[in-house]
Amino acid sequence: MATPNKEIVLSGIRATGNLHLGNYFGALRKFVAVQDDYDCNFFIADLHALTTNPDPNQLHANVKSILAEYLAAGLDPEKSTIFVQSDVPEISEMYLLLNMHVGIGELMRTASFKDKARKALGIGTPADDSDEAFEKEIIGASTNKRVNAGLLTYPTLMAVDILIQKANKVPVGKDQLQHLELTRRFARRFNSFYGVDLFPEPTDFDFGGAPVKVPGLDGSGKMGKSEGNCIYLIDDPKVLRKKVMRAMTDEGPKEPNSPMTEPIANLFTLLELTSTPEIVTSFREAYADCSIRYGDLKKQLAEDILNITTPIRERVNDILADDAYLSQVVKRGAEKARERASQTLAEMRQIMGIRKF
């Protein structure tokens, strides 16, 4: 189990469905890799998933499936504290307290909020993407198409997850860096407002280089559930091969050393994440001298992805069927997570002046 004098690593994934390659390379792979060397804490963010008002039965099923996928991918409850966010009620109370030091303006300017709020209202990104225009869109929205306040305060809740455990390092994908920056700002603000040194400022954690953005194979943008372009860790080999073979390509390079179009660059990004450097180089050379056959590249990519996902997929069903084991893992995880959370919350209450008679 966690050793107190090691640096604290913490991260989580929202309970919104099965894990995809974006979650794997942006987050889960790193969780597994650092387990031996840090005080590791990994959770399933079910409260964050509530921002989209999911079906209640589906929410619990999603929590369970992510837990099973964590374990199948190699997270070890003997090494890491593995818990469900809502099993730590201290998080909800601290969320209320921290919100008192968070500005609605800074929350509204967050890129992920703009994106999700527009999706909730069913509008695309308009020509005028200024903060002022966005504020008007939100305030002017009709009441039956509301953007809920939980979506706005999503970064507060994420900051609380991190700060309540006094985490130093947070392994996440590139899309979460802005939230992490806000977390640091909130930590600094709280410390300086009360003249205390309660919260460390957490940093992102990418031992293997810069944080990644895993692209989708549909031409542009990232792989994500709301983009509907995911390759899931539990995809059956047939389904997975089909998804990869359908990836968007172009007509092929016409001249040596042509620049790559985005869909091709995306295929190479995935190949770099999944394949050996030799294979990547050979396809790059084939692209440069115009001899590349995209069909071969896709076949190779599908097999390399399967090499990673197959062991996970093969373990996940057995784990999912073992309710007693799953519940034992999260009970123990919640106990551990609550130890530090309740300590931090008590300190925070004291600092803010909430004291007992």
Site for ligand TYM in 19-48 (CB under 6 A): 22-23, 25-27, 45, 48
CB nearer to ligand TYM: give 173 or 253. Answer: 173
The distance of closest approach from Cβ of residue 172 to ligand TYM in the complex, given in angstroms and rounded to an integer, is: 3
Are residues 30 and 189 in contact, defined by beta-carbon separation less than 8 angstroms?
no
Residue 168 C-beta-side C-alpha neighbours within 13 Å: 8
Question: H-helix or E-strand containing 59?
Answer: helix 56-72
Q: How many binding residues for ligand TYM (CB under 6 A)? A: 28
The distance of closest approach from Cβ of residue 166 to ligand TYM in the complex, given in angstroms and rounded to an integer, is: 13
Site for ligand TYM in 312-331 (CB under 6 A): none
Question: H-helix or E-strand containing 155?
Answer: helix 154-163
Site for ligand TYM in 47-66 (CB under 6 A): 48
Q: How far is CA 93 from CA 104, 132, 154, 164, 289, in A?
A: 19, 32, 14, 11, 60
CB nearer to ligand TYM: give 216 or 253. Answer: 216
d(CA 201, CA 189) in angstroms, rounded, equals 11
- 225 as an active site residue: the answer is yes
Q: Count of CB atoms within 10 A of residue 4's CB? A: 7
d(CA 136, CA 294) in angstroms, rounded, equals 46
Are residues 79 and 1 in contact, defined by beta-carbon separation less than 8 angstroms?
yes
CB nearer to ligand TYM: give 77 or 211. Answer: 211
CB nearer to ligand TYM: give 74 or 141. Answer: 74
Give CA torsion, residues 53, 55, 60, 64, to 10 deg. Answer: -100
d(CA 346, CA 350) in angstroms, rounded, equals 6
Pull the structure tokens for residue 91.
């998080």
Residue 288 C-beta-side C-alpha neighbours within 13 Å: 6
The distance of closest approach from Cβ of residue 345 to ligand TYM in the complex, given in angstroms and rounded to an integer, is: 17
13 makes contact with ligand TYM (CB under 6 A): yes
List 116, 166, 169, 298, catalytic entry: 116
Longest dimension (CA), the chain: 79
CB nearer to ligand TYM: give 128 or 181. Answer: 181
12 makes contact with ligand TYM (CB under 6 A): yes
Per-residue binder mask for ligand TYM (CB under 6 A), 155-194, x = binder: ---x--xx-------x-xxxxx--x---------------
CB nearer to ligand TYM: give 88 or 320. Answer: 88
Q: Site for ligand TYM (CB under 6 A): which residue of 8, 9, 11, 169?
A: 11
Q: What is the DSSP string of 167-214?
A: -SEE---GGGHHHHHHHHHHHHHHHHHHT-------EE--TTSSPP-P
Q: Site for ligand TYM (CB under 6 A): which residue of 117, 223, 302, 337?
A: 223
333 makes contact with ligand TYM (CB under 6 A): no
Candidates 114, 116, 103; CA nearest to 185 is 103
List 119, 174, 213, 225, catalytic entry: 225
CB nearer to ligand TYM: give 287 or 340. Answer: 340
Q: Site for ligand TYM (CB under 6 A): which residue of 54, 219, 224, 237?
A: 224
Binding site for ligand TYM (CB under 6 A): 10-14, 22-23, 25-27, 45, 48, 158, 161-162, 170, 172-176, 179, 212-214, 222-224
List the catalytic residues: 116, 222, 225
